[in-house]
Amino acid sequence: MRQKLQKILVIDSSSLIALERANLLGKLEYLDFKIIAPKTVSLEVGKTGQKAIRIENLKGRSIKKANSLVGKGFGRGEAECLVLADKLKTGFIVCDDRKLLRQKYLLEDKILEKIEIVGFSFILHMFFRKKQINGIWEVFNDVIEKSNWKRSEVEAANFVFLKEMGY
152 is a site residue for another protein (CB under 8 A): yes
For another protein, give the closer residue by CB, 72 or 130: 130
Contact with another protein (CB under 8 A) among 3, 47, 131, 134: 3
Binding mask of the shown chain, residues 87 to 126, with x at each position contacting another protein by CB under 8 A: ----xx--------xx-xx----------xxxx-xx--xx
Single out the residue of 43, 55, 63, 156 in contact with another protein (rule: CB under 8 A). Answer: 156
Is 143 a residue that touches another protein (CB under 8 A)? Answer: no
Q: Could you tell me the smallest distance in angstroms from the CB atom of residue 64 to another protein?
A: 27
Which helix (H) or strand (E) segment is 139 a member of? helix 136-146
Q: Judge whether 46 and 55 are in contact, CB under 8 Å.
A: no
DSSP 66-126: HHHHHHTT--HHHHHHHHHHHHHT-SEEE---HHHHHHHHH---HHHHH-EEE-HHHHHHH
We find the least distance from the C-beta atom of residue 34 to another protein, in angstroms, to be 14
Task: Decide: is 24 part of the binding site for another protein (CB under 8 A).
Answer: no
Stretch (H or E) spanning 41: helix 39-45
- CA distances 146 to 14, 44, 68, 119, 141, Å, are 12, 18, 33, 15, 8
Q: Which stretch binds another protein (CB under 8 A): 16-24, 48-56, 78-86, 153-161?
A: 153-161
Coil, helix or strand at residue 53: strand
Partnered with residue 37 across adjacent β-strands are 55
Q: Which residues bind another protein (CB under 8 A)?
A: 2-3, 5, 7, 91-92, 101-102, 104-105, 116-119, 121-122, 125-126, 129, 150-161, 163-165
